[in-house]
Amino acid sequence: MFIAEKPSLGKGIAKYLSGSASSGKGYIQCGPDVVTWCFGHVFEQVEPDYYLPDDVPLANNGKKKWRFEDLPIFPEHWKLEAKDDAKAQIKVIRDLLKKADVVVNAGDPDREGQLLVDEVLEELGWKGPTQRIWLAALDEQSVKKALSSIRDNREYQNLCNAARARSRADWLVGMNLSRAFTLRNSGGGVVSIGRVQTPTLALIVARDEKIENFQPKEYFVPRIHTGFWSSWELHEDFSGVDGEGYLTDCKAADSLIARAQAEGRAVVQEYESREKQQSATLGFSLAELQKVCSAKLGMSAQQVLDAAQALYETHKCATYPRTDCRYLPEEQFAEASRVLSGLARLGFGDLVKNADAARKSSIWNTGKVTAHHAIIPTGGMESRPEGATAKVYEIIVRSYLAQFYPPYVFRAIKAVLGCAGESWKATANVPVAPGWKAVYGLSEEEGEAAQQPIPVLQTGQVLPVQDADVQAKQTKPPARFTDGSLIEAMSNIHKFIEDEAAKAKLKEASGLGTEATRASILETLLGRGFVERKGKQLISTRAGRELVKALPRELTDPVTTAKWEDALSLIAEGKLTLEQFEEVQRAVVARHIAAAKSSHFTVGEARSRNGKGAATGKARKLGPTCAACKQSKTVVLRAKSGKNWLKCEACGAAFWPEKNGKGCGTPWEARA
C-alpha cells in the first residue's frame, strides 16, 4: 500500500506499477498493490484551547479568552486532529490499512513529506512494516528506478523528527508569542509573530529604512583619453579622498585632469591581455530559479514555485523543485544522452545538436549533493506547459543544456598608464568564443562586446593625451527587495549578519526558512498586510514597521531562526534529539512571555502605505460571517491576481472564499 503526499504523486506512481489499474474512491488498485494519497498534511496541531483549563471564560467568538495567566501554553502531550476537508480521505486510508501487509511512505522527498505520511500512520495506529520510496522526478525512468530502490522507512526517522520539531517550534512561538504581544498591544490589532516570518519582515523593514534614510554622496572620477578612456586610480593618501574611498573634492579632480592635459602624454606602465575561460553556471536550486525568474519574467516567488511544482507533478518534465542544491550526482551523468535526446524531440533540437553529451561539467559532484539534486529537465513530458510555466521550463532546459557546451572564452585586457605622477587604468573584456552562452544568445554577453577597444600596447609606449574630463557621480542606496532578491537574501542570510563568528557559521548551510517554505512566508506577510507589492518591489507597511520596532531583538534577528534551521539539520542527521530542541524552544518562549508582560506598545491595523484600506490599497467591503470567530466583520480585499480573499477585523483570520462567494472557504495559511 503506497501513501502518496498528494493525488498527482499517487497517480504518477500507479502508472508504473505492475498489474492492470482500476480506480476507486480515493485510491487506485494496481494488481496486488494499491495507491492512495493525502492532500498535504491531513492532520494538524490542535488549537491552544484544547490545552487550556475548562474554567477559562469564553470570548464573544465562542473561543476561550486570551489571558496572560494562561501563558505559556506548553502541551504535555502533543495532540493532532484531522482537518475537516480531509476526513473522508482519512477514512479511505484507514480502511485500506486494514487490508495492507506493507505500507510504503511516498511523501515528497524532504522532511515535511516524510512527516505528513508518518503522522497519518501514527494517528491511525499502523504497526506493520513500513518502507520509503524517494522520488526526485516523476518521469517513467525515475519512477521505475525509485520503485526498485525502496528502503526501510525507519532509516528516515531522524528526518521525520526534524519536521516534527519544526512544526512544534512554529506552534510554540506563533501561538504563545502572538497572544502575549497582542495582549500588550494598545493598538487593538492582533500581533502575528512567526518563527521565520518575523525576521523576514525585519529584513524588509531594515532595507526600506536604509533606503529612506540614505544620504547620497557626490564623488568624482577623473579620466584621460589616449585613443581610449582611462580612469584615475584612487589612493587613500590623496587629498580630497574621504574615509569611504571616494574622491569628493571637485577642485582636486579638476586639478588632476588639468595636470594631465598640461603634461600632454601618458606612458604605458603595464599592459596585460590574457585569454580566460568561464564555465557554465551551476544548475538551479529553487532559490536561484526564483531569483532568475523574478528578474527575467517578473514572477513572484510563489508563482515560480507553483510553476516548478507543475512541471514536476503535472507535466513530469522537470525534477523535484524544492531543493537547496545546485549540483547533480555523478552517477546520473550516464543518463545525459537520454535526456538530451528527449529535449531534441521536445523542440530544442538546434541547441541539442551543438551539445556534447560526453562533456562533464562541474555540476556533477556527488559530494556536494544534499537531500535533493539541482532542478533539471527529465527529457520527457506528459503534457505541454503553457504561459509562464512554459517560460520557467525553458529557463531550466537552457541551464541544463549549457552544461554540455564548452566554456565561454574572452580576452581580459588591462592597461595602466602613467601621467602627471598618477596612474590611470582601463579594462575591457572582449568575447572570443561564446561557448555555453550561445545557449542564451549573444544578448547574454552583458554588453561586453560593446566595450571600448583597447589596442595592443607595449610597456614604455608613449600615448598622446587627446582629451580629459571629470565624471560627476552619486552613491546610490540599496535597491528595494523584489521576490527574487528577498528569496536570495533569505537563502544567504549570512551576508546580513555583522557578528563575524555568526556570519562564518551561517555561511556554511543556514538560511531563513527552507526552499519549500520561503515563498509561502512572503505570501503570509503580504496577506497580513505587513508588506505590499509596488510593481516588482516589496515594501513594508506602517503596521509592519510598527511590529518590528515593538518586538524584542531576538525575535526579529535572522541569526536566531537561521540557528534553529541549523538545529533542525542536526536532528535530521541524528546529532540532536527532538526533545533537546523542544526544551530549548520552550525556554525561549517563556523568556519572551515574561518580557512581554512588562512591555506596552501600539501596532495599528495593517493598512496600505497610502492609507486607503488594507494591504492592497483597495476599497473595503463588508463580507460574510467569519468562519473562525463567527462575527460579521469580515472585509473583502482584492489581490493582484484579481481574486478576492477575506480577512476578519475581529480576529485577524484570513480565508479564500467559497466558490459561490457567500462564505469563508479555505484558510489563507492552508492555501499558501
Name which residue leads in pLDDT, 127 or 609.
127
In single-letter form, the type of residue at position 478 comes to P
pTM (2 decimals)? Answer: 0.77
**Starting from the edge strand earliest in sequence, which strands make up the sheet with 33-37, in order?**
21-24, 27-30, 33-37, 2-4, 103-106, 130-132, 151-152
pLDDT in tens, 11-50: 889 988 977 889 899 999 999 999 999 988 999 999 999 9
Q: Which three cell numbers stand for residue 165?
A: 520539531
Name which residue leads in pLDDT, 330 or 644.
330
pLDDT in tens, 292-311: 999 999 999 999 999 999 99
**Domain 2-163, CATH among 3.40.5.50, 3.40.50.720, 3.40.50.140, 3.30.499.10:** 3.40.50.140
Please state which of the ranges 272-286, 371-385, 612-626 shows the lowest mean pLDDT. Answer: 612-626
pLDDT of residue 668: 52
**For range 181-200, the mean pLDDT:** 86
DSSP annotation of 155: G
pLDDT of residue 142: 83
621 has a pLDDT exceeding 80? no
Q: Which three cell numbers stand for residue 125?
A: 495506529
CA distance 178 to 176: 6
**Starting from the edge strand earliest in sequence, which strands make up the sheet with 537-540, in order?**
481-482, 537-540, 531-534
pLDDT in tens, 228-241: 999 999 998 898 99
pLDDT in tens, 510-560: 678 888 789 999 998 998 889 999 999 999 999 899 999 989 998 998 888
Q: Which three cell numbers stand for residue 469?
A: 574630463
pLDDT confidence of 445, banded at 50, 70, 90?
A: very low
* Cβ atoms of 452 and 428 closer than 8 Å: yes
Start-end of CATH 3.40.50.140 domains in the chain: 2-163
pLDDT of residue 624: 65
Cα–Cα distance list, 364 to 111, 644, 659 (Å):
24, 45, 47
Start-end of CATH 2.70.20.10 domains in the chain: 218-279+408-474
Structural element, H or E, at residue 205? helix 197-212
**For range 110-136, the mean pLDDT:** 94
| Block residue for cell numbers 517513467 | 140
> Cβ neighbours of residue 314 under 8 Å, at least 6 residues apart?
8, 382, 383
Strand partners, 396: none
CA distance 595 to 27: 51
3-state secondary structure of 275: strand
pLDDT of residue 302: 93
670 has a pLDDT exceeding 70? no
pLDDT of residue 449: 47
Name which residue leads in pLDDT, 4 or 237.
4
User: How far, in whole angstroms, is CA 479 from its chain's centroid?
Assistant: 18
Q: Where are the beta strands (DSSP E) in 172-264?
A: 218-225, 229-232
CA distance 70 to 185: 17
**Three-state SS letters, 360-409:** CCCCECHHHCCCCCCECECCCCCCCCCHHHHHHHHHHHHHHHHHHCCCEE
User: How far, in whole angstroms, is CA 172 from its chain's centroid?
Assistant: 24
> Cβ neighbours of residue 265 under 8 Å, at least 6 residues apart?
419, 462, 463, 464, 465
CA distance 370 to 509: 11
In single-letter form, the type of residue at position 272 comes to E
pLDDT of residue 606: 53
**For range 185-197, the mean pLDDT:** 83
pLDDT in tens, 135-181: 877 778 888 889 999 999 999 999 999 999 999 999 999 999 999 99
Please state which CATH number belongs to domain 286-404.
Answer: 1.10.290.10
> What is the chain's mean pLDDT, rounded?
88
608 has a pLDDT exceeding 80? no
pLDDT of residue 450: 55
* Cβ atoms of 178 and 190 closer than 8 Å: yes
CATH class of 218-279+408-474: mainly beta
* Cβ atoms of 425 and 414 closer than 8 Å: yes
411 has a pLDDT exceeding 80? yes
CA distance 138 to 142: 6
* Cβ atoms of 487 and 518 closer than 8 Å: yes
* Cβ atoms of 634 and 619 closer than 8 Å: no
Q: Is 670 exposed, middle or buried (0-12, 13-18, 19+ CB in 10 A)?
A: middle
CA torsion sign for 367, 371, 374, 379 is: positive
* Cβ atoms of 240 and 248 closer than 8 Å: yes
Catalytic residues: 320
99 has a pLDDT exceeding 90? yes
CA distance 219 to 230: 17
CA distance 215 to 235: 24
State whether CATH 1.10.275.10 applies to domain 182-213+480-597. Answer: no
Q: Which residue stretches of 84-139 are H helix? A: 87-97, 111-123
**For range 482-508, the mean pLDDT:** 81
CA torsion sign for 187, 190, 192, 193 is: positive
pLDDT of residue 610: 35
Cα–Cα distance list, 182 to 389, 592, 605 (Å):
41, 13, 12
User: How far, in whole angstroms, is CA 239 from its chain's centroid?
Assistant: 46
**For range 338-353, the mean pLDDT:** 96
> Cβ neighbours of residue 388 under 8 Å, at least 6 residues apart?
297, 299, 303, 307
Phi and psi, residue 46, nearest 5°: -70, 160
In the chain, the percentage of residues whose pLDDT exceeds 90 is 67
Start-end of CATH 1.10.460.10 domains in the chain: 182-213+480-597
